[in-house]
Amino acid sequence: MMAVLELHQVKKSYGSGHTKVDALKETNFLADRGELIAIIGPSGSGKSTFLTIVGGLLSPTSGDVIINRQNLTDLNEKTRSQIRLKEIGFVLQASNLVPFLTVANQLKLLDKVKKGNISKSERNQLNEDLGIADLLMKYPSDLSGGQRQRVAIAKALYSNPSIILADEPTASLDSDRAYEVMELLQKVTKQKKTTTIVVTHDIRLVDFCDKVYKMTDGVLLALEKQDEKEINHIPQ
Amino acid sequence: MFLAWQEIKKNKLRFTLITGILMLVSFLVFFLSGLATGLADLNREAVDKWEASAIILTEESDKSLYQSFMSTDQLKDVEAEKTAVLGQLNAIATNGDNKKNISLFGINKEEFLLPNVTEGKAFEKANEVVADDSLKDEGFDLGDTLSLSSSDQQLTIVGFTEQARFNAAPVLYASLETFHLVKFGEVADQKKDQINGIVVQDDSISNLTQNEELKAIEIESFIESLPGYTEQKLTLNFMIYFLFGISSIIVAFFLYVLTVQKISMFGVMKAQGISSSYLSRSVVAQTFILSFIGTVIGFALTLISGAFLPAAIPVSFDLTSMMLYGIILIIVAMVGAVFSVLTIVRIDPLKAIGG
Ligand SMILES: Nc1ncnc2c1ncn2[C@@H]1O[C@H](COP(=O)(O)OP(=O)(O)OP(=O)(O)O)[C@@H](O)[C@H]1O
Ligand SMILES: [Mg+2]
């Protein structure tokens, strides 16, 4: 099977001279369709750096990021932005919904900038699945944290992306809501055969994932799922 | 437009305030332009009525009708399709109760300077005059006898005409004979060929005269040389241009503040792949909607308040120039959106999702 996402010897350093930070050391990484991947690790270890490089928002200092056979490093910002629109769904913190748009209009906006990726019935199904069908006329300020996050996931899925990137998607939620969101991501990943990468501090969420990576000081290391002990030793 | 309009709908108060400010600025611009037109009319109405292309004055008069002294003999030095002689003087007229600065035009009844008489009749005998009907608002009437400050002659108003003010003074039209009587009194007979200028209607304004002592002056240039006219116009135009600048700064400022508040939101949208140009277009569309609504309301407000103004305030609304100013206002407001556009373009989507 062809990997959806490949990183070859990707490195990222910030600054130069004695202030230089190697946020991401040389990293190779592969991900397939239908995989839900967790990345855990202490604060400042380079998780967000990794995720933003994968999402084409940040250019690596060296190395190649290949999404569906397109090498991001070869592309200009405009094309990269189109790839973000088509191939990548970001799930961010709840506060990142557009405050002055109703749920329905949040989705409509995506429709306007990127037309017809999924059919109307698929869309309605998606709204049902995510449990937001009844919320369509509401503004973000009238939603609960969990509801907002579900809308955020709906937005990420709306353009039928092949990759979903979530940076701390459950940060603002209590455990029950957090599990709900993870179940949802799991369901979507399996149903839509997306590649989903979730960055999290919360090791309990790891149970939902197929693969777990640990980031320490810019080094990405695959963990065996059964290696619970290792996982449990991750500093918070 | 979608994003722009949805935001306006959700944040009505905020956008009503901006629209309100734009409305007041446009009201002021329209009103000043009305005042500029009104004041200009005050000076030039009577001249516009001539529908003339040029006026011949003496070289040494420096474009001042009042300083130009010539004789009807010089008519033969002027070659034009149509000519009309003109004598002019300023005086203060009183009918006993009311006093007013007037401008007396001495003309030949057969020539084209004779205005349309809208009330009463044209002058026939000596000392009969047709007056500008703005004098009616000052308490003058048909049949009134007028005494003049500079003369013993008594004039009688036999008719009225509309919109005939010259350099802000209502015009009294009379025969050349009356004019000479008023100007020269007892010696009028010896001076009966004295005039101030010759008004010309002709397609071309070059080669109207070969006489070195005379000079043909284009009507527009003649008007601009009327005392105070250009200064007044410049002052008001300066105020209008200044307002354009102010409105652009106000819009720029408000939009910029609104945009800065939304930086993280725009960042998220950009991270999702929505282009800077889509977001920028939305801000520009928003500016257009706001400034359009503000300008239209300002326009309406100007016309409404214009209808209730006392006649003493010389406003007159010229729709074409108001339209033009309205369009300039909208464009200027959109220029004010440039800062916001620059801000949006510079937003790094990374900042919005990093952390
Ligand atoms: N723009 C930047 N300029 C300089 N250094 C940066 C920048 N962004 C991140 N870093 C550094 O790179 C390292 C990795 O940061 P990163 O944000 O990837 O950590 P993280 O694992 O996401 O942390 P957290 O769990 O707290 O979100 C940190 O040492 C951080 O200080
Ligand atoms: Mg982070």
Say which residues have a Cβ less than 8 Å from residue A99's Cβ, sequence separation at least 6.
Answer: A139, A140, A141, B10, B265
Q: Find the distance separating the first CA and the last CA of chain A, reported in whole Å.
A: 36
Residue B213 one-letter amino acid: E
Residue B6 structure tokens: 């949805």
- Polymer length in residues for chain B: 355
B269–A101 C-beta distance less than 8 A: no
Q: State the burial class of residue B259 (Cβ atoms within 10 Å of its Cβ: 0-12, 13-18, 19+).
A: buried
Q: Which CATH superfamily is domain A5-10+23-232 in?
A: P-loop containing nucleotide triphosphate hydrolases (3.40.50.300)
Say which residues have a Cβ less than 8 Å from residue B265's Cβ, sequence separation at least 6.
Answer: A96, A98, A99, B352
pLDDT tens digits for range A100-116? 999 999 888 888 876 55
A15 CA closest ligand 1 atom index: 4
Which candidate in A92, A138, A199 is best for mutational testing of the B interface (most B CBs within 10 A)? A92
Greater confidence (A172 vs B59) lies with B59
pLDDT tens digits for range A177-197? 888 889 989 998 998 899 999
pLDDT(A141) > 60: yes
**Taking a C-beta distance cutoff of 8 angstroms, is the pair B142, B171 a contact?**
no
Chain A: closest CA distance from residue B347 (Å): 12
Alpha carbon distance B169, B226 (integer Å) = 12
Chain A, nearest residue to B270 by Cα? A81
Instruction: Spell out which residues of chain B touch residue A167, defining contact as CB-CB under 8 Å.
Output: 353, 355
Instruction: Spell out which residues of chain A touch residue B345, defining contact as CB-CB under 8 Å.
Output: none
The residue among A186, A177, A188, A151 whose CA lies nearest residue A38 is A186
Tally C-beta pairs within 8 A across A and B: 72
Which parts of chain B register pLDDT below 70?
A: 352-355
Residue B69 sits at the vertex; the CA angle it makes with B65 and B75, to the nearest 5 degrees, is: 95
Residue ranges of alpha helices (H) inside B142-228 are 176-184, 219-224
Instruction: Spell out which residues of chain B touch residue A85, defining contact as CB-CB under 8 Å.
Output: 272-274
Please name the member of A88, A96, A101 whose beta carbon is closest to the beta carbon of B6.
A101
A105–B264 C-beta distance less than 8 A: no
Given this model, what pLDDT does residue A236 score? Answer: 46
Q: Please, which pLDDT band fits residue A228 given cuts at 50, 70 and 90?
A: low
> Residue of the nearest CA to atom 31 in ligand 1?
A44
B213 alpha carbon – ligand 1 mean position (Å): 88
Helix (H, G, I), strand (E, B) or coil at B175: strand
The residue among B309, B232, B240, B249 whose CA lies nearest residue B30 is B240
Q: Would you list which residues of chain A are within 8 Å, Cβ to Cβ, of chain B?
A: 48, 52, 55, 57-58, 78, 81-86, 88-90, 92, 96, 98-101, 105, 108-110, 112-114, 139, 155, 159, 167-168
Please name the member of B271, B278, B355 whose beta carbon is closest to the beta carbon of A84.
B271
Helix (H, G, I), strand (E, B) or coil at B102: strand
User: What are the domain boundaries of chain A?
Assistant: 5-10+23-232
Helix (H, G, I), strand (E, B) or coil at B326: helix
Alpha carbon distance A47, A200 (integer Å) = 9
Q: What is the mean pLDDT of residues A136-141?
A: 94
> Residue of the nearest CA to atom 4 in ligand 1?
A14
Lining residues, ligand 1, CB within 6 Å: A 14-15, 21, 23, 41, 43-49; B 355
Given this model, what pLDDT does residue A231 score? Answer: 56
Alpha carbon distance B9, A105 (integer Å) = 12
Pocket test for ligand 1, best of A39, A40, A49, A199 (most atoms within 8 A of CB): A49
Instruction: Spell out which residues of chain A touch residue B273, defining contact as CB-CB under 8 Å.
Output: 81-86, 88, 113-114, 159
**Taking a C-beta distance cutoff of 8 angstroms, is the pair B182, B114 a contact?**
no
A173 alpha carbon – ligand 2 mean position (Å): 17
**Taking a C-beta distance cutoff of 8 angstroms, is the pair A23, A14 a contact?**
yes
Residue A87 structure tokens: 């191939």
Residue labelled with tokens 């009688």: B156
Q: Please, which pLDDT band fits residue A232 given cuts at 50, 70 and 90?
A: low
Sign of CA dihedral B40, B45, B46, B51: positive
The CA–CA distances, whole Å, from A178 to A46, A126, A149, B102 equal 23, 19, 9, 89
**Taking a C-beta distance cutoff of 8 angstroms, is the pair A36, B343 a contact?**
no
pLDDT tens digits for range A24-78? 999 999 999 999 999 999 988 999 899 989 988 889 999 999 999 889 888 888 8
Instruction: Spell out which residues of chain B touch residue A98, defining contact as CB-CB under 8 Å.
Output: 265, 269
pLDDT(A230) > 60: no
Say which residues have a Cβ less than 8 Å from residue A62's Cβ, sequence separation at least 6.
Answer: A9, A10, A11
A24 CA closest ligand 1 atom index: 14
Write down the pTM of the prediction: 0.77
B264–A81 C-beta distance less than 8 A: no
A47 alpha carbon – ligand 2 mean position (Å): 6
Chain B, nearest residue to A90 by Cα? B272
Kindly identify the ligand whose nearest atom is closest to the C-alpha of A49: 1
Interface ipTM: 0.78
Residue B128 sits at the vertex; the CA angle it makes with B122 and B132, to the nearest 5 degrees, is: 65
Distance of CA B118 to the CA centre of its chain: 24
User: What are the domain boundaries of chain B?
Assistant: 2-43+230-352, 54-203
Q: Please, which pLDDT band fits residue A233 given cuts at 50, 70 and 90?
A: low
Chain A: closest CA distance from residue B275 (Å): 7
A82 alpha carbon – ligand 2 mean position (Å): 24
A167–B355 C-beta distance less than 8 A: yes
Instruction: Spell out which residues of chain B touch residue A163, defining contact as CB-CB under 8 Å.
Output: none
B3–A90 C-beta distance less than 8 A: no
